[in-house]
Structure 1
Amino acid sequence: MTPGNHGALTVRWSAAMLAAGLLAGCGTGETGLQRDAAKQLQARVLEVTQASSQNDPATALSALKGLETELGNAQSKGGISDERRRSITTIAAAVRADLTDAIAKTDQAKARAEEEARQAAEQAAQQTPPAQEAPAPSTVQPSGEDKGKKDNAGKGKGSG
């Protein structure tokens, strides 16, 4: 893990934990969040947190969408105050930006690695001498004249 990657993971983890802390201890109307809504939202925050801690930003982003849907449902049922929803939405937006950035960096790193592998293979191919092919056996038959001369060669002086 590179130092930059570690930093992004730390930010995602912190943002998710902040969201979890924001939801913790909720359960009365005074906090702007009803107990049932708090339980459902906490479960969604846990999904985001777990995926972030496993360095799986795509899954964390999907879980964050679920959190936002749950947040909308809670608001429509009167389970969360508008102020509390805005606060959670602000944190969710920061987490979303971080997750989107992590996905982009992962995609860039993957593309860079693929390009480096392609260049290395290309360079290796240029440095390797081409394979020498063995010459094919000759299929040319000697003509009759040549054959006759070879046959008469070395037959002694008196035979002629």
Structure 2
Amino acid sequence: MSVHSNWRWRAVAGPLLAGALLAGSLSGCAEPAPDLDSAAAGQLQSQVHAVTEAAATEDSAGALKLLDELGYGLDAAAAEGKVSFKRHQSIKTSLDAVRADLTARVAQQQAAAAEAAKAAAAVQAEAAAAQAAADQAAADQAARAAPAPAPVPAPGNSGENGKAKGKAKGGG
């Protein structure tokens, strides 16, 4: 190694090493509060698992409800000092992102259900129209196939040029 490159290495490494040693010595002076208590972490993790399971089974509405419960649990743990503010904010940001995804999925599912209902109604209307057309065609065919009724003479016309029959002549 040349003297010049050795000097550059010492110029960079020296302050970095000093900073690392200073940080290490300060961390030994006082034990900082954990970012996340282990008991709280276990409970939050089981709630995350429940949300994941609900989302995986396409139960987005149920997953949203479980996500709300997870948020309440996180807030309670933070209020008890089991979650640091920084960690609380980080987890909240993640929960908000998941909530947005689940809300979008619920909206898509509702739109798909409405579209399916609309399509089912259209199919049902087409079937009803086809049945009505078939009924009308059957009625028309039955009317053509039936023999025409015999003509009924008009009332008051007996076919004798208007002369009445009876005992009116000499009758006695």
Residue-pair matches, total: 114
Query: Cα deviations across residues 89-113 of structure 1 (Å, max 9, x unaligned)?
Result: 0010000001001011000000000
Percent of matched pairs sharing the same residue: 34
CA RMSD of aligned residues (A): 2.6
> Which of the pair has more CA radius of gyration?
2
Matched residue, 2:71: 68
- Residue in 2 that maps onto 1:32: 35
Which residue is 2:122 aligned to?
119
Q: Which has the higher contact order (CA 8 A, sep 6+)?
A: 1
TM-score (norm 2): 0.59
Structure 2: segments with no counterpart, 5+ residues: 1-30, 144-151, 160-172
Q: Distance in 1 between matches of 2:113 and 2:94?
A: 29
Give 1:30 deviation, angstroms: 6.2
TM, length-normalised to structure 1: 0.63
Structure 1 gaps of 5+ residues are: 1-27, 136-141, 150-160
- Aligned runs of 1:49-64 on 2, under 5 Å? 49-64=52-67
**1:94 counterpart (81, 93, 97):** 97
- In the alignment, the residues of structure 2 paired with residue 125 and residue 29 of structure 1 have an alpha-carbon distance, to the nearest angstrom, of 74
- Secondary structure of 1:55's match? coil
Residue identity opposite 1:42 in structure 2: Q
Return the alpha-carbon distance in structure 2 between the equivalents of residues 119 and 62 of structure 1: 34
CA distance in structure 2 between the partners assigned to 1:64 and 1:31 by the alignment: 24
Deviation digits for residues 101-147 of structure 1 (CA, Å, limit 9, x no counterpart) = 10110000000000011111112222331523978xxxxxx99x89x
Amino acid at match of 1:106: Q
Amino acid at match of 2:111: Q
Deviation at 1:31, TM superposition (A): 5.2
